Amino acid sequence: MSPRQVTVDGNEAAARIAHLTNEVIAIYPITPASPMGEWADDWSATGVKNLWDTVPQVIEMQSEGGAAGAIHGALQTGALATSFTASQGLLLMIPNMYKIAGELTSTVLHVAARSLAVQALSIFGDHSDVMACRATGYAMLCSASVQEVQDFALIAQAATLVGRIPFLHFFDGFRTSHEIDKIYQVDHDTARAMLDEDLVVAHRRRALTPDRPVLRGSSQNPDVYFQGRESTNRYYAELPDLIAQVMARFGRLSGRHYGLFEYVGAPDAERVVMLMGSGIGAAEETVDTLVTRGEQVGLIKVRLFRPFSPRHLLAALPESVKSIAVLDRTKEPGADGEPLYKDVVTALAQAFAAGERTPMPQIIGGRFGLSSKEFTPGMVARVLAELTQERPKNPFTIGIHDDVNYLSLDWDAKFRPDAAHAVTRCIFYGLGSDGTVSANKNAIRIIGEATDQQVQGYFQYDSKKAGAITVSHLRYGMQAIRSTYLIGDGEADFVACHQPNFLARQDVLGKATPEGTFLLNSPVAPDAVWDSLPRHVQQQIVDKRLTMHVIDAYDIAGRNNLGRRINTIMQVCFFAITGVLDIGEAIARIKAMVEKTYGRKGRRLLERNFAAIDAALAGLHAVAVPAQVSSQIEMPPVVAANAPAFVRDVTAKLIAGRGDSLPVSAISADGTWPLGTAAYEKRQLALEIPRWEMDLCTHCGKCPLVCPHAAIRAKAFDAELAAGAPAGFLHTQIKGGKDFPPGTHISYQVAPDDCTGCGLCVEICPIRDRQNPQRKALNMVPIAAHREVEQANWDFFLGLPEFDRTTLKETTLKGAMIMQPLFEFSGACVGCGETPYIKLATQLFGDRMLIANATGCSSIYGGNLPTTPYTTNPDGRGPAWNNSLFEDNAEFGMGMRVAVDTQAEHARELLRKLAGEVDEALVEATLSAEQQSEAEIVEQRDRVESLKAKLATSSHPAARTLEGIADYLVKKSVWLIGGDGWAYDIGYGGVDHVLASGRDVNILVLDTEVYSNTGGQTSKATPLGAVAKFSAGGKPVVKKDLAMMAMAYGNVYVAQVAYGAKDVQVLRAFLDAESYPGPSLIIAYSPCIAHGIDLSDNLRQQGLAVNAGHWGLFRYDPRKTASGDNPLHLDSPEPNIPYRDFALSETRFAMLERTRPQVAEHFMKAAQRQIKNRFHFYEQLAHLAVGNNKDE
Amino acid sequence: MNLTTNWLGLELQNPLVPSASPLSRSLDSAKALEDAGAGAIVMYSLFEEAVRAEEEGMSRFMHEQETGSAEAESFLPSHQDFPGELDRYLEQIASLKATLDIPIVASLNGVTASGWMTHAKEIADAGADALELNAYYVAADIWEEGHYVEQRYITLLNELQQQVSIPINMKLSPFFSSIGNMVKKLEMAGASGVSLFNRFYQPDIDIGGMRLQHVLTPTHSADALLTMRWIAMLHGRVECSLGATGGVHAAEDAIKVLLAGSDVVHLCYALLNNGPEEIGRIKKGIGEWMEQHGFEQLSDFRGSLSQVNVQDPAEYERLNYIRVLGSYDSPGGVWR
């Protein structure tokens, strides 16, 4: 029987072997390794057993450090245990890795290798993380393809039992972890035959047990520690041969043969390239091509990096080799070469010195592929060509343009390996939410399963969470596909554009090959579609002689009640046009996939999808392509012509997807980027925007508060300033006029190109027309008829001066919402529940705010390029932001506070010292300023400006120092922002410590009750009974009461808030927290798509959560005790609707009702009891008499 | 004392049949109903809207989770084995059949002849002894003529018949121009029985919040009078089974509808309020009444006060209306 072939990605391939060969799996989510944990959890949750016929226990820990500790414990207690991780997570495991290796413990850690956070975080792939582990004592085995991921996962598991050395099995994040390939699946018999049962028993025999007690982990003194470290040498010395034997055994069982170092290329090669990981695919294609063309070149595939075995390397390297280029996918600043390069140099130098190898080849080292930077055959060819130089560049980089250090090699982007012509290449541009990626994954599986062809699928995603654009790259052909790079310009035989508006924004057809095929989804009729195309698109179609097809997939989807889900319709067109499969069979298989998805539970959905699939072919039309270009539609500029130079020169390229072309000089060396760039990225996502009805509006300020993207604004201004307003600009006399000068008008204005159309502003609007209750003071209207008018209005609105903050009543929503938000147009989800809180903080304190932001959603929509939503006010002030790590954010923020305090104190000291040099009255006023109100802060700023002017004229040496730090005399507001994954789990130790420090920091926890950014994994904030990833059976314990824990300190200001339930309380809490001169903690309820709700219901869900008592609103202000008042004030009433009514309105709870009704019922009752008890507990606390502390 | 009755072609030990209610969701309470003496059980309804909403929700939140983010392809765990509303219903039929000896009548609640009707076949396959269709249709379109509304019921029945061969009972509302004719047409179209009457839960208005609110108002014995009248008018004129539903709270109510001619008496609020044991009490009450009146079996008196059997058939028609109005006295202080 031939081995079974499956179409899977690298993560699934690794996870399957890990799950099959282990008993304990400790996990923690991190991109791009999270899916491995999710697969393992899913399999265990559904009872999938391992080789020993038991279901592995999957446990989620509070951090990767925790996971490593749990694995260490499990291993020491005799279990076969594993974990999955990447990047910072791997760094957190390092201490335990030393221990595990030091104790000669058999285990495999699977790593989807990813960049480390340095000048910036990056989720993409390189070897920086694994290279940081090379001293731990783990063996390091690298897979270069999905097939190898599976095979090496098993080889590593077998070898670790044989050699007792733990293994770090790694493969490239995204390029391999997320690439879908057709592979031969290892069956259970092979897996069983690979693992020697005696060795498993031996592993168990080494376990700690009170039945055979021993002690490990002793503390040793200078007398023996050194000897102990040397005692393991033989295990490392023997390991390479043992691994080779295990590989040989695997080869006999599977027919797939591997070596520690494998050579391919000309037998008489003189030039060789050497590397690890997915780049091997591109390198092999290139070497094959060059050898065919008569070049004496070769490739060494490095599989085993640690223990590094010079003997095996030399055995693989042809004697004829004269020069070697060693490529490292990592960077070690300050080293005189990257790790693999140095090992190779040492190995050959030692062999040469020992007389085992002559002549000594010339060896150069280069860096490539950091953060999944493309690594193409053109680059490989260029590296090999460099070896022909008499003095090749060393070190060098390949893949970037380095105009600062001049290390980079230029390459021929048009170089194509012969293998490129053996496959069909297809590329699809889709929206993140329209199902394009999942449809393409299905398509690649269909081709893989229905034909003998090899397949490859790779998907480019977006860092935006709303309106994300995806690009799917599909290859298929009869030969093995090793093209581990994107489909390049002019290469795609088939280009599909699933969204017609992409044509005007992206170079969609740049990828198309001459004589290729173009499929467009467009609402325009086939005979008119040509005229609807932008000029440059027409030009490409004509120049490349493309065949064009069009379909109105939205129409077909709409007619079949599929909304905007066009994926299956487009899939049919792909199969029909490419003919890769008989169309009848393709349709049958697409339907089978749909049926598998929905099953009999979604009969109507099946009917709709089937109807749409059947209608697709009839809707697909060939477009007659004229010989001449006729369109006058030009591609609009990426950013406005009046944008700052940096935005035009750098940001615009990032937005347009041309960031690869930016040279080193364009990028700051220390990771510094300007604010305010999101305002230039006009994404035009909304189909509908809100329209203001002035006659009804009461100017309550609720709409700007709830807007997740700061796309609806309020501004107050002197009516005379509106004299030159565009005709459509709406403004009216402000209501509640006593707080404003006479003649003050107000405008509520939408930013039409930045609004995402979520409709929450309309949802929150409390004012209805009594004659026509359907009409509110805000109503959504289709954007088409309003865009141009509102664009002009928005520009005018921006040009109006900001209202004098010092006169605004910030305790009212109306007043606070007139303040300028300094956080706008982020990449957060449509209807995001987190961003309104951040926006509010920037409105109130943004011009003096320092933000420490934990890694997570808020650091991605807050700090992921191409643009930043944090911005400045007209004075140039705004939030200063940094993201250190996930786990250390509280400490990071506290460091900011301490630095501010230290420098402010130093400034005060110098001020006193220099009192004679400057105005004494000014000094006294500056030192004694309370800075409690906005006006007082502005006054202090003025004093500091005067002070600096006076200092400039002073020759006192201390004056220079004071000039540099005088700004710290103005109050600074330090905010520590992050999600519940940070505050409840990985960063809790730090949060706790900072709360205990008494320092004046403001901690804002955006509580979505799961790890949102990595895809909804359980945190300790996840409520009882909620289904989340890693809690497929419902979370069995109650949510941690973080507020109560913080209140226990007694000197921490604590508030629990939900803006959709009680907005004024949120405002009050933010003002209280900031004014409190000690640590403050605001825990903010943040509905999230991970709750299984539509975020257009965000506000309703907040109301339900509060009314059901799931989310109590309160404020705990320690200042109150001074006046004898109880510090705790409850802001929400006793729960007044059943918990069930809230819970069943969210899929995260409701799905358990389906899967485990009895368990769900148990949780439901337990949660109801707990809510009741907690409310009464809080109520009692709030009513406790507090002693009068005045006399103390 | 013999209380056996034939309903929808099924032999029941007695005519007391709990109507569609949450009591059949749990095996324990269903068993308690049987132990208390239920003749058969009509299961809780499988709502067309619930099935549809679940499909939509599942599609939206389970199958369409991708957003295009590189870090998260989904946000909730995938559940290939996610059992739907229908699965649970089918499982419950099978469990009830395995646990109880009395007939189990499944209940479908819906108004459109679309894909969900195919569920009927699975329901029959799961072992249901009969199927009740509760067509809860509010004819809100003022341009929809009465005969179209009536035809909708016939069409639904026909659709169901194409799917199943088990008996079908139609649960009807009283809002037809000619109820008797409607029942006759359904009988001719193949209905094995009708239950009279379904109640529409009427929305209320919250005058404080100026919005609609939905409240559940329990039935009262007085509600049984409308049912009783129409059972009485139809008994002996149609051959299909007649079930009395709505307002039966006590043995007296049950005896009345039996006298009017119903084959079964459906109970709902009486059981929700007082527990399954209420069946036993009502059954005992019927037995005692029969004993007092010397009846040995149901057929001795069932329908004896139906329209075809009463001395003055007009009693059930307008004359009754005139008499009732004439007998009404306003409370003191109200001028009339």
Domain boundaries, chain A: 5-211+222-253, 261-409, 420-623, 637-672, 676-715+727-732+741-799, 1009-1183
Question: In this structure, what DSSP letter does residue A678 have?
Answer: G
Give exposure, A877-891, as e/b (b: 16+ Cβ within 10 Å): ebbebbbbbbbbbbb
Which positions in chain A touch B61 (Cβ < 8 Å)? 1092-1093, 1147
B139 falls in which pLDDT band (50, 70, 90)?
confident
Please state, in angstroms and rounded to a whole number, the distance separating the CA atoms of residues A86 and A1180. 46
Residues A4-42: pLDDT tens digits? 999 999 999 999 999 999 999 999 999 999 999 999 999
Contact predicate A1149/A1097, CB 8 Å? no
Fold exhibited by the domain A261-409: Rossmann fold (3.40.50)
CA angle A481, A485, A487 (to 5 degrees): 90
Of A1147, A1148, A1153, which to mutate for an interface test with B (greatest number of B Cβ within 10 Å)?
A: A1147
Which positions in chain B touch A461 (Cβ < 8 Å)? 68-70
Average pLDDT, chain B: 86
When mean pLDDT is compared over A736-750, A1067-1081, B158-172, the highest value belongs to A1067-1081
Q: Is the pLDDT of residue A285 over 50?
A: yes
Q: Is the pLDDT of residue B193 over 60?
A: yes
Output the six-digit token pair for A1050.
């007694």
Of B71, B92, B119, which to mutate for an interface test with A (greatest number of A Cβ within 10 Å)?
A: B71
Contact predicate B131/B168, CB 8 Å? yes
ω into A333 cis (within 30 of 0): no
Decide if A261-409 and A637-672 have a common fold: no
Residues A306-318: pLDDT tens digits? 999 999 999 999 9
Contact predicate A1142/A1094, CB 8 Å? no
Q: Is the pLDDT of residue B325 over 60?
A: no
Residues A322-376: pLDDT tens digits? 999 999 999 999 999 999 999 999 999 999 999 999 999 999 999 999 999 999 9
Of A31, A43, A600, which to mutate for an interface test with B (greatest number of B Cβ within 10 Å)?
A: A600
Please state, in angstroms and rounded to a whole number, the distance separating the CA atoms of residues A29 and A166. 22
Please state, in angstroms and rounded to a whole number, the distance separating the CA atoms of residues A1175 and B201. 34
Q: Is the pLDDT of residue A764 over 80?
A: yes
* B59 at A interface, C-beta within 8 A: yes
Please state, in angstroms and rounded to a whole number, the distance separating the CA atoms of residues B176 and B180. 9
CATH tag for A420-623 (out of 3.40.718.10, 3.40.920.10, 3.40.190.10, 3.40.50.720)? 3.40.920.10
Please state, in angstroms and rounded to a whole number, the distance separating the CA atoms of residues A185 and A151. 9
| Percent of chain A whose predicted confidence (pLDDT) is above 90 | 93
B72 to A1154: CB separation less than 8 angstroms, yes or no: no
- The string of DSSP letters for A829-867 reads PTT-SSHHHHHHHHHHHGGGEEEEE-SSHHHHHHH-TT-
> Class for domain A5-211+222-253, per CATH?
alpha beta
A1188 falls in which pLDDT band (50, 70, 90)?
low
Q: Is the pLDDT of residue B106 over 50?
A: yes
Which positions in chain A touch B213 (Cβ < 8 Å)? none
CA angle A729, A731, A736 (to 5 degrees): 165
Q: Is the pLDDT of residue A108 over 70?
A: yes
Contact predicate A944/A967, CB 8 Å? yes
Report how many Cβ contacts below 8 Å link chain A to chain B.
Answer: 143
Please state, in angstroms and rounded to a whole number, the distance separating the CA atoms of residues B261 and B240. 12
Residues A646-705: pLDDT tens digits? 999 999 999 999 999 999 999 999 999 999 999 999 999 999 999 999 999 999 999 999
- The string of DSSP letters for A557-604 reads HHHTT-TT--HHHHHHHHHHHH-SS-HHHHHHHHHHHHHHHHGGGGHH
Mean pLDDT within A457-480: 93
ω into A307 cis (within 30 of 0): yes
pLDDT of residue B335: 44
pLDDT of residue B318: 60
pLDDT of residue B336: 38
pLDDT of residue A452: 94
- In the beta sheet, which residues pair with residue A365? A326
Please state, in angstroms and rounded to a whole number, the distance separating the CA atoms of residues A458 and A173. 12
- The string of DSSP letters for B276-317 reads TTHHHHHHHHHHHHHHHHT--BGGGTTTTTSTTTSS-GGGGT
The residue with greater pLDDT, A596 or A236, is: A236
Residues A1097-1143: pLDDT tens digits? 999 999 999 999 999 999 999 999 999 999 999 999 999 999 999 99
Which positions in chain A touch B29 (Cβ < 8 Å)? none
Closest CA to A497 of A425, A551, A447, A547: A551
* B214 at A interface, C-beta within 8 A: no
A603 falls in which pLDDT band (50, 70, 90)?
confident
B326 burial level (CB within 10 Å; 0-12, 13-18, 19+): exposed
Mean pLDDT within A577-595: 94
B135 falls in which pLDDT band (50, 70, 90)?
confident
Closest CA to A467 of A649, A643, A788, A709: A709
A3 falls in which pLDDT band (50, 70, 90)?
confident
Sign of the Cα torsion B313, B315, B321, B322 reads: positive
Output the six-digit token pair for A190.
């092979």
Q: Is the pLDDT of residue A1043 over 70?
A: yes
Q: Indicate the CATH number for domain A637-672.
A: 4.10.780
Residues A615-651: pLDDT tens digits? 999 999 999 999 999 999 998 899 999 999 999 999 9
A601 to B118: CB separation less than 8 angstroms, yes or no: no
The residue with greater pLDDT, B139 or B79, is: B139
A603 to B78: CB separation less than 8 angstroms, yes or no: no
At residue A1188, the 3 state secondary structure works out as coil
* B67 at A interface, C-beta within 8 A: yes
Mean pLDDT within A856-866: 96
pLDDT of residue A607: 85
pLDDT of residue B58: 79
Beta strands A1010-1011 and A1053-1057 are unpaired
Q: Is the pLDDT of residue A1187 over 90?
A: no
pLDDT of residue A667: 97
The single-letter code of the amino acid at B30 is A
| Percent of chain B whose predicted confidence (pLDDT) is above 70 | 88
B67 to A435: CB separation less than 8 angstroms, yes or no: no
> Class for domain A1009-1183, per CATH?
alpha beta
Please state, in angstroms and rounded to a whole number, the distance separating the CA atoms of residues A632 and A972. 53
Counted residue by residue, chain A has a size of 1192
pLDDT of residue B317: 66
Q: What is the pTM (predicted TM-score) of this model?
A: 0.91
List, as ranges, residues 69-128 from B with C-beta within 8 Å of A. Answer: 69-88, 114-116, 118-119, 122
H-helix segments, A657-714: 702-706
The residue with greater pLDDT, A1189 or A504, is: A504
Phi, psi of A749 (to 5 degrees): -125, 135
Contact predicate A425/A486, CB 8 Å? no
Closest CA to A886 of A796, A1014, A741: A1014
Average pLDDT, chain A: 96
Q: Give every CB contact of residue B172 below 8 A, 6+ residues apart in sequence.
A: B135, B153, B179, B182, B183, B186, B194, B195, B196, B197, B198
At residue A800, the 3 state secondary structure works out as coil
Q: How far is CA A1156 from the centre of its chain?
A: 32
Contact predicate A414/A549, CB 8 Å? no
- Crossing angle of the two packed helices A87-102 and A64-76, in degrees rounded to 10: 20
A433 to B64: CB separation less than 8 angstroms, yes or no: yes
Mean pLDDT within B115-122: 77
Sorted by where each begins, the domain ranges of chain B are: 5-307
ω into B167 cis (within 30 of 0): no
Closest CA to A82 of A24, A6, A168, A20: A24
What is the predicted ipTM? 0.90
Q: Is the pLDDT of residue B137 over 90?
A: no
Please state, in angstroms and rounded to a whole number, the distance separating the CA atoms of residues A550 and A620. 6
Residue A273 C-beta-side C-alpha neighbours within 13 Å: 31
Question: In this structure, what DSSP letter does residue A327 have?
Answer: E
pLDDT of residue B50: 80
Q: Is the pLDDT of residue A475 over 90?
A: yes
Q: Is the pLDDT of residue A1020 over 90?
A: yes
Which of B58, B71, B119 is closest, CB to CB, to A123? B71
Residues B43-79: pLDDT tens digits? 998 888 788 787 788 778 888 888 888 999 899 987 6
A432 to B68: CB separation less than 8 angstroms, yes or no: yes
Q: Is the pLDDT of residue B333 over 60?
A: no
Please state, in angstroms and rounded to a whole number, the distance separating the CA atoms of residues A497 and B177. 57
Of A431, A601, A609, A1091, which to mutate for an interface test with B (greatest number of B Cβ within 10 Å)?
A: A601
Q: Is the pLDDT of residue B326 over 60?
A: no
The single-letter code of the amino acid at A517 is T
Output the six-digit token pair for A602.
């979604």
Which positions in chain A touch B80 (Cβ < 8 Å)? 46
C-alpha distance from residue A840 to each of A280, A405, A845, A1145 (Å): 50, 44, 9, 28
pLDDT of residue A561: 86
Q: Give every CB contact of residue A1028 below 8 A, 6+ residues apart in sequence.
A: A1009, A1010, A1016, A1017, A1018, A1022, A1035, A1090, A1148, B76, B77
Which of A565, A1029, A1093 is closest, CB to CB, to B77? A1029
Contact predicate A272/A298, CB 8 Å? yes
Output the six-digit token pair for A137.
């004592």
Which positions in chain A touch B71 (Cβ < 8 Å)? 31-32, 34, 123, 860, 1013-1015
Return the active site residues of A: 31, 64, 114, 1013
B81 to A600: CB separation less than 8 angstroms, yes or no: no
The single-letter code of the amino acid at A141 is L
Beta strands A744-750 and A732-733 are antiparallel
Fold exhibited by the domain B5-307: TIM Barrel (3.20.20)
Phi, psi of B208 (to 5 degrees): -70, -55
CATH architecture of A676-715+727-732+741-799: 2-Layer Sandwich (3.30)
